[in-house]
Amino acid sequence: MDSPETADAQERHRERAQRKKALVDRRIARATIDRGVVVVNTGNGKGKSSSGFGMLARSLGHGFHCGVVQFIKGRSTTGEDLFFRTLGDAFADRLRYHVMGEGFTWETQDRDRDIASAQAAWAVAAGMLADEACDFVLLDELNIALVKGYIALEQVLEALAARPPRQHVVITGRGAPAALVEAADTVSEMRVVKHAFKAGIKAQKGIEL
């Protein structure tokens, strides 16, 4: 038999859980709008792209037709590229995957070429955003291209506003412009607490690559 103290603690726990459930149920009942959302993952911490690719996997699991454009990254093959584009035969008919192909800007050291590559990638992205058949679009590291002025922010905001109403879009990269943050439905900012690279540990496959 439970002691009186244990019984009281259990009862208090049940009461707290009931209040919490009632609060959550009310919030769910108020959420009646059903449409596509824009998600922005920004900040200096790790996990922005990882979160985006997690949502891509979730969307493919639901049978969505998806598109991915990777800005900035692209010279070296990443794990997500290998998995989703090369090994993803099971959903090849539902996934369009485009890598900008020039790599990080400090590697190319050619602003004109970076701009041309970013704008070519944006043309692919804009096509996806205008496609009624595309349920989910991941624009990985687009924020970097926006911050550097490779792509006009106004173009991006217009394309987001004009996209099909049920299409979801995830945009990643540090330094998200204020106007994009304002236009988004969900914004998460990743913060650095510790990073192995600062301790001299090189980027690891499956973690950074």
pLDDT at 74 over 70: no
Q: Sign of the CA dihedral 196, 101, 60, 160? A: positive
Q: What is the pLDDT of residues 11-64, one digit of tens each?
A: 888 888 888 888 888 877 887 889 999 999 999 999 999 999 999 999 999 999
Pick the residue with more confidence: 115 or 134? 134
For residue 106, the one-letter residue type is W
Q: The whole model's pTM is what?
A: 0.85
Q: What is the pLDDT of residues 93-113, one digit of tens each?
A: 899 999 886 554 445 567 888
Distance of alpha carbon 163 from alpha carbon 111, whole angstroms = 30
Distance of alpha carbon 104 from alpha carbon 50, whole angstroms = 18
- Look at residues 2, 152, 173 and name the one whose alpha carbon lies nearest to residue 72: 173
H or E segment at 12?
A: helix 4-30
